[in-house]
Amino acid sequence: MAQLNESELNKPGGVEGSGQAGMQGMEMLDGTIAEALKETVERSSPQHADNRNDVTQGIHGHLHHFASGGPAHHLWLSKFVPQLQSLAAKYHVGNYVAIRGTNERIFESMPIYARLGMHILFYGREQVKLLEGSKRIESLLMEQSKREGQIYDSPESRSHIPSFIHTYNINTSELLYPPESPAYKNFNHFFYRKLKPDARPVQNPDHEFCSAADSRLVVYPAVHDAQTFWIKGNEFTVPALLGLDKSDPLCRALEGGSLASFRLAPSDYHRFHSLADATVVGEPRDIPGQYFTVNPQAVNEKGLDVLSANKRSVLLLNHDATNKKIAFVAVGALLVGSIQWTVSAGSKVRRGDELGFFAYGGSTIVAILEPGMVEWDSDLVANSSPPKRGQLGIETMMKVGWSIGKMPKDKK
C-alpha cells in the first residue's frame, strides 16, 4: 500500500478515532464504473499497449497519485469516471494504521481497483444492470478476479516483478530466492514468495500466540465485541462465517469466543502461518462465495457482511496446550486468485509454521478461538477498541511471529 504520514494529510477524509477515510463523495460518482474496473484490470497485463512493465499503470495505481494528475497514464480513468480526479484531489482515500510500539499512525492510500470495486458494491447495482444487461455485480467481480489471476499466471507477467518491488519498496534481502531467480515463473510466484527461514522469528517465548500474517490486525476478546466495533455486517455470525448450521458442535464450542482479523494488502508477504502450537483437524473445507473487497470501509458497512459472503476456506486447529479449537478462516477478496494450503489433516504445527498462501490480491484471515483460550496483548486491544462511543478502532501493523497474546494464568 502507498503510505503517508499524518503530517502529509492536508485534506479531509478521516474522523479522529476512526481508522478509515475517503467514503465522502462516493455516492456522487457516476460514469461507467464497471468499464473502468475492467480497463484497470486489462492495463495490468504486460501485453497491454500502454503498460510498459509499470504496475502502477493498472490495478496498482493509487488515488493520491491520480489526484495530482500523476503520471499521464492515470488520466485515462477520466474517460470512464470524470469526477474521480477532483474527488481524489479533495479527499484522502484510504485507511489509518497504527505502528506498534509508537504513538504513530500512517495513512495507507487505497488502490484504484479497490475504490472502484467499493463503488460498484455499494452504489452501482442499477448502473451495472444497465451496462451488463442481466449480469449481476457478483458475476462482474468474479469475472475480473479470475481475469487478473490469468494475467498474473502468464509467463509474461514476470516482467512486472521489478516495478512491483520498486512501487511497494519490497525488502528483497528477506527473499529465499532473489527477484531475478527462475523460481518465479510468473508474477504470482513472486506474489506468494517464500522468505528466508530466519526472516520472521517468533517473538516472546512466554506468549503462546503470534501473528499469523504480515498484516493489519484487530483483536477482540469476544465475537460480540468485533460485531460492535469492527465487523458491522448485519448478517455476520460465527455459523455464517464457517458455513455451518448454528447447531453444529463447532459453532457451539466457539460461541462467545475470541476473534482476530488479519488483513493483508497487495504489497504484503502473502503466506500465512499458525498463530499457536496445534494439530490440524481434518482437511481444509472450501466455501464458495463472492469476490467483494475486504477493505475496512467495506467490513465496517452495516448493509453487507463481506467476510461471510466471500469465497473462503476453513482450517480447524486443535490447540495443544488447552485441547480447544481454533477456526482459521482464509477469506478471498476482489482480484484474489486462489487460497492454497500447505498442511493437511494430522499435521503438527508450531507457532509461526506455514499453513498456506493467497495468490494475487489483498485478503483477510479471521481466527476464532474458544472462550478462555487467549488474553490478547493489551496494546492490540486498545487500538482495536474505539476511544469514544460510535467511533471505530484502528488496525495495528504486524509481522508474522510477533506476539499477539498469551493464555490466561489459570489455564497454564
Catalytic residue numbers, as ranges: 214, 273, 363
What are the grid coordinates assigned to 224, written together?
460480540
- Among 304, 315, 313, which residue's Cα sits nearest to residue 331? 313
Strand-pair category, 395-398 with 94-98? parallel
Q: Do 262 and 218 meet the contact criterion of CB atoms below 8 Å apart? A: no
> CB neighbours (10 Å) of residue 155?
10
Q: How far is CA 126 from the centre of its chain?
A: 27
What's phi and psi for 73, nearest 5 deg? -70, -15
Give residues with Cβ within 8 angstroms of 337, minimum separation 6: 145, 146, 148, 149, 152, 153, 188, 358, 359, 360, 361
Q: Label residue 145 left, alpha or beta by phi (over 0 means left) and psi (-120 to 50 means alpha).
A: alpha
| Largest pairwise CA distance in the chain | 64
Report d(CA 123, CA 119) in Å as an integer. Answer: 5
Report d(CA 330, CA 131) in Å as an integer. Answer: 32
Cα angle for residues 348, 353, 359 (degrees, 5° grid)? 115
CA atoms within 13 A on the CB side of 358: 31
Query: Which amino acid appears at position 308 of this protein?
Result: S
Give residues with Cβ within 8 angstroms of 212, minimum separation 6: 260, 262, 272, 273, 274, 275, 328, 355, 365, 367, 400
- Among 316, 356, 364, 308, which residue's Cα sits nearest to residue 336? 364
Size (the chain), residues: 412
Report d(CA 353, CA 148) in Å as an integer. Answer: 29
Report d(CA 351, CA 349) in Å as an integer. Answer: 7
